[in-house]
Amino acid sequence: MTGSSSTSDDRARRIVGWAVLVGGLLGALLSLVSANWEQRALFDRWQRAAPREISGQSVAVVLIDPISLRLYGSWPWPRTLLAELASKIAAQKPKVIGFDMFFTETDAFAPAKVRALYPELAPAAAQQLLALPDLDDAFANAIGDAPVVLARLGVTSDGSDPGQLFVDPEIAGVPPRGVLHYPQVISNLPKLDDVALAHGLINGEPDPDGIVRRVPLTLSVGGRAMPGMAAELARIATQTPQLAWRGGRLAFRGGAVPADRQGRMQFRMGKLPAASVVLASEVLNGDETARGAFAGKVVLIGMGGDGTADLVSTPLGNRVSGAFVQVQAVDAILSGSWLARPGWIVWGEWAAAILLVLMATLAGGMRRYWLLPLGAAIVGALWLGSFLAFDRANLLLDPVRPTLVGLSAAIAMGVTLYLIARADRARLAAALTEQRVAAAEQEGELRAARRIQLGMVPGAEKLERLDPRVEIGAVLRPAKSVGGDFYDALMLGPDRLLFVIGDVTGKGVPAALYMALSKALSKSVLSRSSGDLGAAVASLNRELMAEADDEMGVTMLIGTLDCANGELALVNAGHENPLVVRKGDGVETLSLRGGPPFCVVDFPYPEERARLAPGETLVLITDGATEAQDAEQALLGLDGVIAAMTGDGDVPAAVRASDLADRIRAFEGDTEPSDDLTIVALRYRGP
């Protein structure tokens, strides 16, 4: 007995060890797959929780806003006005002035263009007009007299040959392999471009979720390395003679900025102080707010007028002009407030994950359960450390990875120990008499089957997480321990919600077994559909016919909901028609043509359309609702179901489904339910 017990314990420890290892590996795989998404979400949360405090001592923005446009005319302004703006800023001795805009065409008020607008001018007057000074020359003189950086933009087409442009200074070193490449460039008029102190590219594509978190330090345009606007402004401000890539970092005088694989810098964002944001009209008018606002600073002139601003989304949840992003990037370079994720942090995350897996292995295999709260404390410390590393050191530590790996290992340990404990209890139960064993096994198997069946359908938490635009409540109550009803719901895309309710012929274990097959096949076939719901349902029918015997059949109502506009696509295979609770508490039936139940005949099921308005609820039921009987064997019927929902008002979907099920069972009283009961309610909240 002792030897047998020892062997059993060793075997259990090995099983737990392997289960924990597999669980940890699955968690690691999941963390790798979801790394980009979860890291963006986490670090954006840290950005919002602890935005950077920008002093405004190093940077300023001159905004051409609606007030300036109202005072000095619509955009584009005459180049003489821009020359005056640049000259007045330069008079305060800034370190550098950047223009976050292009000047690709000659001035709209050039004498030649004005002459073309008035062909009726006398020759003498026209000659006098053409003799007036070129406004672009005045702007070029202002640019040449000031430390001005003009913008360029890398493009894939409709640009010019970058080989003809002057690039100063050359960028030394080897940039990251994934640096952004563009074959052509949009630049300014040559007479403006040639006199500028330097040039910077203002490319800054957002991440896949549409949020700008990084700016390119350098880019490759036509095979030539060119600096981004923020990097070039910072280079001039730090008096760095030449930018240089050194091992994935761009070196400036006084430091080196880390970049990702595309040569982009991620930085900590904040809000510019009011004193660092000056309106162009205030500069031109000589207002007090503009005096002394630019001395010794990096100044970026950008657009902020309606219809002209390049608005972008940031991790702080706001939409700002692209000039604000560029100037914050410059300030981050000058103050060292870039965000870094060095290699040692990644190795540390994996080390923490491995430690948590080892602790779970010891806790489960050696029954040292005190390690579990210690592991939870380590996870909590990782999350706190992640925030502190971000807030105090601008480091990006991802606690989700070790948490996910450790949690997966702990879940695997718990599930394995539970299964081992169940197996041990089953072996102990075998020592009882055959009658008690048989009864216990039968009762236990039915309970397990019920748990398994209820576990096969999505629970409330999973339904709640599907899409915030839809509330889904569902109730499944088998007439016996197990039954043949089922439902399912899953997202087929960003807006397309698939839902299914089905009823297998009969009750009990045979119906439950065929229910499991029907549910698995429906999920497999429908999730692969390309959008033609009718064709997918016909394919599902053929799959079920291939697996069913002559006594089995199943009815289903299958549909999709476009969460963006409430449009429904429905296919009815011999099932109860759906009900819609309209605004004002009216309940009506959606009469569908449909087709026969599955497993009867190969049938071209029609796809039928309807629409839910915001606040309306689609209710799906099985025949356990309409065929419910009271003690006098009176049927509840469809009218009774509708009456049971009338008067509830606008209630959550989960409450509606649960209340309707309770009222149906209350109608049946103490009588044995005639059939399984399943109710699914989908309340459309709106786009």
Are the C-beta atoms of residues 344 and 393 closer than 8 Å to each other?
Answer: no
Same-domain status, 523 and 670: yes
Q: Please answer whether residues 97 and 323 qualify as being in contact, where contact means their C-beta atoms are separated by less than 8 angstroms.
A: no
pLDDT for 300 equals 96
Amino acid at 212: V
For residues 304 and 368, state if they share a domain: no
Q: Is residue 661 part of a domain?
A: yes
Indicate if 407 and 472 belong to the same structural domain.
no
Are 18 and 140 contained in the same domain?
A: no
| In 543-669, beta strands by DSSP E | 554-562, 567-573, 579-581, 587-589, 608-611, 617-621
- Strand (E) or helix (H) holding 596: none
pLDDT of residue 436: 55
- Does residue 445 lie within any of the structural domains? no
Peptide bond into 76 cis (omega under 30): yes
Cα–Cα dist 80/144, whole Å: 14
Same structural domain, 309 and 362? no
280 and 301 in contact (C-beta within 8 Å)?
yes
Residues 640 and 516 in one domain: yes
pLDDT the model gives residue 184: 93
| DSSP-derived 3-state class of residue 484 | coil
The answer to the question of residue 566 being in a domain is yes
Query: Are 216 and 71 contained in the same domain?
Result: yes
Per-residue pLDDT at 440: 47
The pTM of the whole model exceeds 0.75: no
Would residue 653 count as lying in a domain? yes
Residue 262 within any structural domain of the chain? yes
**CATH code for the domain of 493:** 3.60.40.10
What gap in Å lies between CA 332 and CA 257, rounded to an integer? 10
CA distance 605 to 90: 74
Which residue, of 359, 391, 418, is where some domain finishes?
418
* Low pLDDT (below 70) residues in the chain: 1-6, 8, 125-126, 128-129, 131, 305-309, 431-454, 481-482, 506-509, 550-551
Number of domains in the chain: 3
Residue-level pLDDT at 437: 45
State whether 214 and 322 are in the same domain.
yes
Among 313, 335, 357, the domain boundary falls at: 335
CA–CA separation, 369 and 360 (whole Å): 9
> Do 463 and 576 lie in a common domain?
yes
- Together in a domain, 472 and 619: yes
Decide if 443 is inside a domain. Answer: no
In terms of domains, do 483 and 630 share one? Answer: yes
Domain boundary among 291, 314, 335: 335
Residue 676, in any domain of the structure = yes
Q: Give domain status of residue 424, yes or no.
A: no
Return the ∠ at Cα 31 (arms to 27 and 35), rounded to 5°: 175
Q: Do 187 and 299 share a domain, yes or no?
A: yes
Structural domain boundaries enclosing 365: 2-33+341-418
How many Å apart are CA 479 and CA 498, to the nearest integer?
26
